A and B are shown apart, each in its own frame.
Chain A
Amino acid sequence: MKMITAIIRPEQLEAVEEALREILDEGDNFRLTVDTVEGHGRQEGEVELFRGKLVRVRRVQRSRITLAVNDAYLEKSIAAILKGAQTGEVGDGKIFVTALEECVRIRTGERGGQAV
């Protein structure tokens, strides 16, 4: 089992969701957590206007998606996120993959790959 965490552009979120749905939805929807985060990588924040002053906000807004997958789905999921999130510009974000030790479905108590 793997945990995928990806930081992506908010405007690409729709495209990423659609691409993931194509490979992960097997008639039972699929599991995804999305939150809005702030931070910075190499790029600078966007410029806003405040009382006539140009203000460069220090952090940019990004969307973070988190999903747990069984090993067989890992590469397909990465490919889907790349397909949806890549624009080629600085600031497209990152995908992190970590090993997932355990997963428990709270409703039933199921564990492991079943619960993912």
Chain B
Amino acid sequence: MEPTQAIDPGSTAWMLASSAMVLLMVPGLALFYGGMVHRKNVLTTMMMSFVAMAIIGVQWVAFGYMLSFGTSLGGFLGWDPALLGLSGIPHTRLYGDKMIPELVFVMFQGKFAIITPALISGAVAERMKFKTYVAFILIWSTVVYCPLAHWVWAADGWLYKLGVLDFAGGTVVHISAGVSALVLAVMLGPRRDVARGHTVLPNNLVLTLTGAGLLWFGWFGFNAGSAVAVEHPVAGSVAGLAFTTTQSAAAAAGLMWMVIERWRHGKVTSLGLASGLIAGLVAVTPAAGHIKPASALLLGALAAVVCYFAVQLKAKLGYDDSLDAWGVHGVGGIFGALMTGVLCFTPVAGALSGNFGQLGLQAIGVGVAIVFAGAGTFLIASVLKATWGLRVEETEERDGLDVIIHGERGYHFDQT
């Protein structure tokens, strides 16, 4: 496609900024997760997020983008050898009718590909072998994420054509990561301390709160940048709508979580507020450019209620979703994707306006993501379990993975 129209500097600037903001969510996630584990595992937990920048950062340029956004093979997978290594994209080429360089679009989408497998690490923290994890995210991104992104976001993807709405990745990012997280958590079994009836207390909630703040900030790029899919110039009114609903839902969800905790325990915790606002951000992700700000307040508040109780479930059902990747991202993503079909007003009306068909379409999208990501994760993890093994030795888990795996300690407070 040769440039037939002029580049739009405003849109290009916003998409460059959005891409950088989405990448900032990865260290944000590393801090968020890193603060919640044993002190002896802080580095390996943060590394599971950071390493995605190195692994998927290479995979996306090499062939990930081609699989997701190359010429569609029947709506199921992208393909175009010219896109291998991005070699067939002149830096002057604009992306479709968006008036931004295609390479900017490649990078924006690449950050989504990076953060999605990193989200899964919350369920496997403190016990999964690092090399197995690295292999897992590479294979998972290639055979689960790339096809799913193609189905939902590529112009010829079959779910996109069906009319499933997923503004910024409720299905592709949060449901797929959340379901995969649950499958891995069950396959790995609980952490040593959890199995012995102990609660793992956080080593540093200050890190966790800092991470939550960075995630919120980055999420404006994640959601408002995703207006690229529906409008051009892409830094226009839908971007403003998505920005507003993102803020509204996160705030309402954080507030609601505080209220629930105050009511049930008499105290408002910092980890609760952080969890609540993340739940709101997750839930509004598929809906951001499709619903009104007041609807976003409602969506966020309800998401906090749903996720609060989902997080309590793990103790009752006995799986160890260590840092609530399923409880917040999986459950919040499913809830948000379905509620999108209820609350949406643009480009189509939702169930609230009598269009129950859209809710049905959303349910199809949710179902497909759950089955595909769940089955894909089970297969990949089964093969890895039979070859490299999923889990570290019990003595290694006892002694701490930072020293055992990485040869480092996160904290040397006593050394002067």
B406 at the interface (CB under 8 A from A): yes
- Please tell me if A46 contacts chain B, counting CB pairs below 8 Å: yes
**Which one of B395, B399, B408 contacts A50 once the chains associate, using CB atoms below 8 Å?**
B408
Chain B residue nearest to A47 (CB atoms) is B407
Select which of B398, B399, B406, B414 is within 8 A of A38 by beta carbon. Answer: B414
Q: How many pairs of A and B residues are in contact by the CB < 8 Å rule?
A: 19
B360 → chain A closest CB, angstroms: 53
- Would you give the 0/1 interface string for B266-282, flagging 1 where the beta carbon is closer than 8 Å to chain A? 00000000000000000
* CB-based contact A48/B409 at 8 Å: yes
Is A49 a contact partner of B407 (Cβ separation < 8 A)? Answer: yes
Whether the pair B406, A49 counts as a contact (CB closer than 8 A) is yes
Distance of A49 Cα from B406 Cα, bound (Å)? 8
Report chain A residues within 8 Å CB of B398: 11, 14
Q: Report if A36 contacts B (CB, 8 A).
A: yes
* B403 part of interface (Cβ distance < 8 Å): yes
Which A residue sits closest to B395, measured CB to CB?
A11
Number of chain A residues whose Cβ lies closer than 8 Å to a Cβ of chain B: 11
Q: Which B residues are CB-close (under 8 A) to A38?
A: 414-415
Nearest residue, chain B, Cβ from A46: B403
Instruction: Determine the distance from Cα of A61 to Cα of B408 in the docked complex, in whole angstroms.
Output: 13
Whether A11 pairs with B414 at a CB distance below 8 angstroms is no
Q: Are B399 and A49 in contact (CB under 8 A)?
A: no
Q: Which of A35-73 contact B (CB under 8 A)?
A: 36, 38, 46-50, 57, 61
Name the CB-closest residue of A to B409.
Answer: A48
Taking chain A's interface residues, is the majority helix, strand, or loop, or is none over half, making it mixed?
Answer: strand
C-alpha spacing A69/B183, complex, angstroms: 49
A50 to B406, CA, bound (A): 10
The smallest beta-carbon distance between B193 and chain A, in angstroms, is 9
Q: What residues on A are CB-neighbors of B408 within 8 Å?
A: 48-50
Whole-angstrom distance between the alpha carbons of A48 and B399 in the complex?
14
Once bound together, how far apart are the Cα atoms of A46 and B403, in whole Å? 9
Q: Which residues of the partner chain B approach A47 to less than 8 Å between Cβ atoms?
A: 407
B43 CB, min distance to chain A CBs, angstroms:
11
Q: Which residue of A lies closest to B413 (CB)?
A: A36
Write out, one digit per residue, whether chain B residues 379-401 have a CB within 8 A of any chain A CB (1) or not (0). Answer: 00000000000000001001100
Identify 9 residue pairs between A and B in the complex whose beta-carbon atoms are under 8 Å apart, listed by A's number.
A11-B395, A11-B398, A11-B399, A14-B398, A46-B403, A48-B403, A49-B406, A50-B408, A57-B415
Query: Which A positions have Cβ atoms within 8 angstroms of B?
Result: 11, 14, 36, 38, 46-50, 57, 61
The 3 closest A-B pairs by CB, nearest first: A49-B407, A11-B399, A11-B398
